[in-house]
Structure 1
Amino acid sequence: MAVEGGMKCVKFLVFFFNFIFWVCGVALIAIGIYAQVALGKVLVVSSGSSAGTPVAILVLGVIIFFISFFGCCGAWKESYCMVTTFAVLLSIIFLVEIAAAIAGYVFKDKVRSVLKEGLQEAMSKYEEDPALTEELDKLQRDFECCGANNYTDWANIKQFQANDTVPRSCCRVNTTTCNVHPTPETVYEKGCQESIEVWLKKNILVVAAVALGIAFFEILGIIFACCLMRGIRSGYEVM
């Protein structure tokens, strides 16, 4: 009876941790949607690889959501095949998350160069692409920045070079002359690259905390799933 009671406890622990995974999956979906919306104005001026990051988070959340549901069914029905499949899939996801974290650390400097190139490319197409122009203006207003490095970057753009002007979205004060012969007193002095990097560093802590929490529960889930697999395979009745 002691073994039976212990396996019954493991069964409900697997069920409980799968519920936690389900919540984590929902959290990742929410983070992915938030990142897609909040970074939309940034991603529109970046490369396709950067734009895929929120989508990747969203997809991972959906996968964890469905795997946790699969694990709950396996634990409740005491199915060795389903619990085994759950443990294997969860292990693969855990390894993928580790690989993604390592890749993110290795290529963290690449993000800066991609961001800078994206901003400069968007500036060169300013007023040529209405949608891109609108997003770049919104970016400069929301982040209170101007240009990639600073407001003097606009002096290299053809349509602003001759008249020594900058876009109205750079203006500190909404006046008719703020974007003519710009100075740090009339336009945002800080570049958008720096502003976005500060924003990312501040918010990446939240993402890292969520990722660590999910990884912790994944390890526990794998351990308990393996224990339940052993109990089912040994022929003990799990109530």
Structure 2
Amino acid sequence: MGVEGGLKCVKILLFLFNFIFWLCGLALIIVGILVQVSLHNTFMINDAAASGVPIVIIAVGVVIFFIAFFGCCGAWKENYCMITMFAILLSLIIIVEIGAAIAGYFFRNKLSAIVHDSLTEMITNYKNTTAEFRDSVDNLQKRLKCCGMNSSADWKGFASDGNTVPDSCCLNVSSNCGKGAMTDPTKIHQEGCRNALETLLKNNILWVIVAALVIASLQVMGIVFACMLMRGIRSGYEVM
């Protein structure tokens, strides 16, 4: 009876852990989407490597979302095959999550080059591109309170006078506020966007890494409980 009671507790714990996994899957989807939006919509970063980690995290979140439901059903019905499949799939997901965390760590080291190339493209193409692209650049400078890549001087080719910057560089944004004011610290942000953007993106990637590792550690416990329940079911114990 002691063994049966213990397995009943394992069954309940596995069910509860799967509910937590379900929430974790939802959290991963949200984190991945937020990072993806931050990388591409707000900052117009087009480097393919930038998409890798958040896309993997979103995919893993979706898979976990459904696997958790699958595991709950297996635990509740005491179905050996379903629990076995759940443990196998969860093990594969853990490997993917660890891989995504490692990729995210190495991707952080590439951010400087990616940010440099992206900001250079933004400044070069600002005048000869779509309104959506210009709005993205303007939103970036307004949000980070910066101007250009390294300094406001990066916009010297923006206008024929060589001393005008986009209005989004202004401390107080208004129409034509950047005209002839490139080097005026009372009107224009003098610091470039590169450092602020790198810091922001590194923090976003760090959240992805932390989320992947925390959820992977929880899933290891879920696999342990699943294996214990599988062993009990295979031995013929009643867990109810």
Q: State the TM-score, normalizing by the size of structure 2.
A: 0.88
Specify the code of the residue in structure 2 equivalent to 1:111.
Answer: L
In structure 2, C-alpha distance between the alignment counterparts of 1:202 and 1:77, rounded to whole Å: 42
Written as runs of structure 1 = structure 2, the 5 A alignment for 1:60-209 is 60-130=60-130, 131-155=132-156, 157=157, 159-160=158-159, 162-174=161-173, 176-183=176-183, 184-204=185-205, 206-209=207-210
> For the Cα contact (< 8 Å) 2:54–2:208, is it kept in 1?
no
Identical positions, percent: 49
Partners of 1:174 and 1:24 lie apart in 2 by 41
Partners of 2:101 and 2:212 within 8 A in 1? no
The CA deviation at 1:43 is 4.3
How many residues align? The count is 237
Give the Å deviation of 1:36.
3.7
For 1:166 and 1:46, how far apart are their aligned partners in 2? 24
- Tell whether the 8 Å contact from 1:46 to 1:118 is kept in structure 2 after alignment: yes
Question: Partner amino acid for 1:128?
Answer: N
Counterpart contact for 2:108–2:202, Cα < 8 Å: no
Whole-angstrom distance in 1 between the partners of 2:2 and 2:97: 37
1:50 alignment partner in structure 2: 50
Deviation, 1:41, is 3.9
Q: Once the 2 structures are TM-superposed, how far is the Cα of residue 65 of structure 1 from its aligned partner?
A: 0.5
Matched-pair contact (CA < 8 Å) for 2:150–2:193:
yes
Alignment CA distance shift 1:80-1:177 (3 Å):
closer
1:27 Cα shift? 1.2
Aligned partners of 1:43 and 1:170: how far apart in 2? 15
**Shift of residue 225, structure 1, vs aligned partner:** 0.7
Does the CA-based 8 Å contact 1:179-1:187 persist in structure 2? no
Displacement of 1:132: 1.0
- Report the AA paired with residue 153 of structure 2: T
> Contact 1:41–1:136 at 8 Å: present in 2 too?
no
Indicate whether 1:237 and 2:238 are aligned: yes
- Partners of 2:200 and 2:86 in 1: how far apart? 37
What is the CA–CA distance in structure 2 between the aligned matches of 1:60 and 1:208, rounded to whole Å?
Answer: 13
Whether the aligned pair in 2 keeps the contact of 1:25 and 1:61 (CA below 8 Å) is yes
Report the Cα offset of residue 22 of structure 1. Answer: 0.6
How far is the alpha carbon of 1:181 from its aligned partner? 3.9
In structure 2, how many angstroms separate the alpha carbons of the residues matched to 1:137 and 1:51? 22
Task: Supply the AA of the counterpart residue of 1:198.
Answer: T
**Contact in 2 for aligned 1:119/1:148 (Cα 8 Å):** yes
Give the C-alpha shift of residue 233 in structure 1.
1.5
Check the 8 A contact 1:21/1:68 in 2, yes or no. yes
Q: Structure 1: 5+ residue runs without aligned partners?
A: none
- CA 1:161–1:100 in 2, change beyond 3 Å: closer, same or farther? farther
Larger deviation, residues 96-105 vs 85-94: 96-105
CA contact (8 A) 2:100 2:212 kept: no
Which letter maps to 1:231? Answer: G
Give 1:53 shift. Answer: 4.0
RMSD: 2.1
Taking structure 1 as reference, are residues 107 and 40 closer, same or farther at Cα in structure 2, changes over 3 Å only?
Answer: closer
Query: How many Å apart are 1:180 and its aligned residue?
Result: 1.4
- Tell me the TM-score normalized by structure 1: 0.89
